[in-house]
A and B are shown apart, each in its own frame.
Chain A
C-alpha cells in the first residue's frame, strides 16, 4: 500500500484497472475498475471530470431503486447531453485485490431514457458526489488503482 513519509497509509486498497475505451464510440482509453453498486458487481470508468456516480440505464434498471425515493432531475448534463433521471443516495463499494475494499455512500444519477434515446456511455464515477472524499492514485506502469479514505487529517 502507498504510505506518506510519516508512515501513515495513503491508500488501504488497490486493484488492477483495465485501460481501454469504455464504449464502442470511445476513442480514448478509460480507467475501468470493478465496483459494487447496491451490492451489484459491475465495472465503472473513473471520470474525474464528471459529477456523481452515473449509472448505465440497464444497470440502473437492475438496481430496482424506488424512483419516489430519489430526487427527480429534469435535466442533467452528461458528457454534453441533457438526460432526464433521478438522483439517489446509494452504496458504492470499491473492490480491492490487495488490502481492503471500501464502502461509500455516494450520490448516483440513474438516467431515465426517453423513447428513441440511446445510452452510449459506461457507468462512471465522477469526482463531485462520488470520489471527492477519497484519496486515490494511479500507477500506469502496473495498471494499479489505489484508494483510501481521507482520515481525520482530510
Chain B
C-alpha cells in the first residue's frame, strides 16, 4: 500500500455523482472503492435487480401495468413513495431492507445526488448506517451538508460522521496507568464480572453495575472505571 492511502481515502474522496466529468478523476475507479471486491457474493438482490428497477420505475404510478414477472415482487413495507421524488431513493430502501450493503452502494452510485433534497440525504444517511455502509454515510452527510448548508440535521450528521480530528497533542502523561493494569492482572479472579474503581493501583470501590459504582465515588477524576473480565 502506498504510504498515506488510508488517510487520503478517508478524507478526500469526492462523491462520484458530484464529480466534474471533464476531470481526470471522473474516470478514476474511486466509486469502486466503496464496493466489496468479490462478485461471487452477489445476492438474490441482483438476480431480481432488473425486475426491481422496473417495479420501482412503475410503482406506484402505474399499478395496472405490473404484469408478468414484476407481479411476483413484493416491495418492502418500509417503502414510502412520498420520500422518493424520482431520485432513486426507493432503490436504497429496497437494498437496505434486504440488508445488502453491496447493492445499496451500487444503487447509491446511480443517484444524481446533486439534485436531491435535504430530506433525501438524511434518509439515505440513515439507511447507509443501517446497512453498514459507514463510509458512504459519511460522504452522503458531508455532500448533503455542503449542498444544503442551512439544514440543521444534515449539518449535525456531517459533524458526527466526519473523520476523527486531533484536538490536542501536547497533554501530560499519566504514569499511574501501569499500576492500575497491574492491579487488574493481580485481582481479576476475585472481581470477575464486577465493576471496579481504581486510583494509582489501589481499589477504591467495586459494584455490580457502573452506575452503582459511580454512586460510591465522590469524584471520577483520575479514577479508572472498568469491568473486570
Cβ of B166 < 8 Å from any Cβ of A?
Answer: yes
On chain A, the residues within 8 Å of B185 by CB distance are 18
Q: List 6 A-B contacts (CB under 8 A).
A: A24-B229, A39-B220, A56-B227, A96-B173, A100-B169, A104-B167
- Interface stretch (choices B48-56, B67-75, B84-92, B130-138): B130-138
Chain A residues within 8 Å of B, Cβ to Cβ? 12-13, 15-16, 18, 20-24, 26, 34, 39-43, 51-52, 56, 58-59, 61-62, 69-77, 87-89, 91, 93, 95-107, 122, 128-134, 148-150, 153-154
B93 to chain A, nearest CB (A): 13
Chain B residues within 8 Å of A, Cβ to Cβ? 4, 6-7, 10, 126, 129-130, 132, 134-135, 138, 156-157, 159-175, 177-178, 180-181, 184-185, 192-193, 195, 209-211, 214, 220, 222-227, 229
In whole angstroms, how far apart are the Cα atoms of A148 and B7 in the complex? 14
Asked whether A103 lies within 8 Å of B164 as measured between CB atoms, the reply is no
Given contacts A41-B220, A154-B4, contact A99 B229 (CB under 8 A): no
In whole angstroms, how far apart are the Cα atoms of A74 and B97 in the complex? 12
A102 to chain B, nearest CB (A): 5
In whole angstroms, how far apart are the Cα atoms of A56 and B216 in the complex? 20
On chain B, the residues within 8 Å of A13 by CB distance are 173
B125 to chain A, nearest CB (A): 8
On chain A, the residues within 8 Å of B130 by CB distance are 73-76
> Which A-B residue pairs are the 3 nearest by beta carbons?
A58-B210, A101-B171, A149-B166
